[in-house]
Chains A and B, each alone.
Chain A
């Protein structure tokens, strides 16, 4: 199976490559349109900033290319956010694969903790949180309320295309799907056996 990782100005592709290798796969890290179109699976990973990422993609025509892909595509973290309509991060118009907007966490109160007072919501949302309302092939064999690892300051609003949701101050889209486009806000490559199962599911779709 040919797997391509979209190369752009966002970091930490190494972990995704290692995770794929643990599943017995190699991948091309590339921004070459032909290689991306030919791949059986395309992964759009990323830890970075929305406006500079969009700028980079547009300058190379990768924005239109990604939207036109027919094979299964998986956006991770910033990848999910860039698949949405618009991000509050530097007021950035995004790829509009999913019809929802990306907002910044903050200004919300956490529910009271056991034996404690109310605390301000900390940003970034960093650590292990639960997935709920799981739907579709990406979460085949993954139990409700499984924990996965998140690191992000912006989130996609809840919308009908959500195939998983998570609560942090409010409920947001932890994963989205439309046709062949899948996206997860968490890092499956850093989420232990649960994350490995999700990556394996994506490769088996």
Chain B
């Protein structure tokens, strides 16, 4: 059976992970390459790197970083942040990224999704949908990292992006993001059951139980989190063992692989 995926997300600015990442015994927590390798050893199934500054000047720095990550990382990884053109995507894929994540630009110009899927194949097109809950009880799309609310219904948008050729949806509840109170279960489930492509749930992870819930009740195919992993509040091998013990298919054997060697500890 296809394993549920655990995906740490790293925010990148000027080629460095943004401050706040505190990994015990990791000498250079600011270096995304070293952090990525550490997460790989701990059993992360995939990684996401978001260029949070995403300025024109920062682009080439980010692309160079993507190349360095691809050289060392033997896991699939997605890159995103301010991507708005086919040319940008081509550069990032050529640098070695497996997938790209598009967000605001796709919401403003939905044809971008069709163009990317046609040019590179759906398998490398992730559409990030940031959703906020309105007073009317409906979820709406928000843009620019949640700062700009729109009147587009997030559920309808998720269905539309799947139809346009997205290979995966990264669904973030802005209501839950940063709260550590659990994922948006009902909304995640509604989207996951409505689209024929995998859904990565994001926003709200604070405890192991939250991951279990988002896989069982939320029907997510993967779960993404940042701070609980970066701050060591949840250890990935421990989380995976817990999920396994609760009947979820997860990839466990990474930690048993001799290839990790003596540096397999963070």
- Spell out A's residues near B (CB within 8 Å): 11-12, 14-15, 18-19, 21-22, 47-49, 106, 111, 113-116, 119-120, 122-130, 143, 146-147, 149, 151-153, 167-168, 187, 189-197
Contact A196 B74 (CB under 8 A): yes
A126 touches B168 (CB 8 A): yes
Q: Given B70, B192, B193, which contacts A14 in the complex, CB threshold below 8 Å?
A: B70
Q: Is the CB of B74 within 8 A of A22?
A: yes
Max chain B Cβ within 10 angstroms of own Cβ: one of A49, A114, A126: A126
B3 contacts chain A at the CB level, 8 A cutoff: yes
Q: Enumerate chain A residues within 8 angstroms of B222, measured Cβ to Cβ.
A: 127
Report 10 cross-chain contacts, Cβ distance below 8 Å, ordered by A residue.
Answer: A15-B70, A49-B121, A106-B196, A113-B216, A116-B217, A126-B198, A126-B221, A190-B98, A193-B259, A195-B74
B residues adjacent to A (C-beta < 8 A): 1-3, 5, 40, 45, 70-72, 74-76, 93-96, 98, 120-124, 167-168, 192-193, 196-198, 216-217, 219, 221-222, 246-248, 251, 253-254, 257-260
Interface residue from B94, B196, B260 paired with A120 (Cβ < 8 Å): B196
Q: Please name all residues of chain B whose beta carbon is closer than 8 Å to the beta carbon of A197 when the two chains form the complex.
A: 259
Measured between beta carbons, the chain A residues less than 8 angstroms from B71 are: 18, 21
Question: Which residues in B have their C-beta under 8 angstroms from that of A123?
Answer: 196-197
B253 touches A147 (CB 8 A): yes
Q: Which residues of A contact B216 (CB under 8 A)?
A: 113-116
Residues of A within 8 A of B198 (CB): 122, 124, 126-127
Query: In the complex, A151→B2 CA distance in Å?
Result: 11
**Given contact pairs A115-B216, A116-B219, A190 touches B76 in the complex (Cβ within 8 A):** yes
B3, B74, B196, B222, most chain A CB atoms within 10 A: B74
Interchain CB contact under 8 A, B2 and A168: yes
Asked whether A190 lies within 8 Å of B74 as measured between CB atoms, the reply is yes
Cross-chain contact of A190 among B75, B192, B217, B254 (Cβ < 8 A) = B75
Instruction: State the majority secondary structure of interface residues on A.
Output: mixed
Q: How far is the CA of A106 from the CA of B257 in the complex (A)?
A: 34
Closest residue to B216 on the A side, CB-wise?
A115
Q: How far is the CB of B265 from chain A (nearest CB, A)?
A: 16
* Cα of A122 to Cα of B40 in the assembled complex, Å: 26
Contacts of A195 in B (CB 8 A): 74
Q: How far is the CA of A194 from the CA of B75 in the complex (A)?
A: 11
Closest A residue to B43 by beta carbon equals A192
Q: Which 3 A-B pairs have the closest CB atoms?
A: A193-B259, A193-B257, A147-B251
B193 contact from A119, A147, A192, Cβ within 8 A: A119
Task: Output the least CB separation between B29 and chain A (Å).
Answer: 22
A127 and B93 alpha carbons, distance in the complex (Å): 18
Q: Do the beta carbons of B221 and A122 come within 8 Å of each other?
A: yes
Q: Is the CB of A128 within 8 A of B251?
A: yes
Q: A114-B248, A122-B221, A190-B76 are contacts. A11–B93 as well, Cβ < 8 Å?
A: yes
Complex partner residue of A193 from B3, B193, B254, CB under 8 angstroms: B254
What is the CB-to-nearest-CB distance from B261 to chain A, in angstroms, rounded to a whole number?
Answer: 10
Give min CB distance, A161 to chain B, whole Å: 24
Q: Is there contact, CB below 8 Å, between B2 and A14?
A: no
Contact A124 B123 (CB under 8 A): yes
B262 to chain A, nearest CB (A): 14
Contact A128 B5 (CB under 8 A): yes
Complex contact B1–A124 (CB within 8 A): no
Give bound CA distance, A130 to B1, whole Å: 7
Chain A positions within 8 Å of B5 at CB level: 127-128
Q: Please determine whether B197 and A122 come into contact, CB atoms closer than 8 angstroms.
A: yes
CB–CB A128/B45 < 8 A: yes
A49 to B120, CA, bound (A): 10
Residue of A nearest to B121 (CB): A47
Chain A residue contacts of B75, Cβ below 8 A = 149, 190, 192
Pairwise interchain contact B121-A129, C-beta atoms closer than 8 A: no
Q: What is the minimal beta-carbon distance from A52 to any residue of chain B, in angstroms?
A: 11
On chain A, the residues within 8 Å of B74 by CB distance are 19, 22, 189-193, 195-196
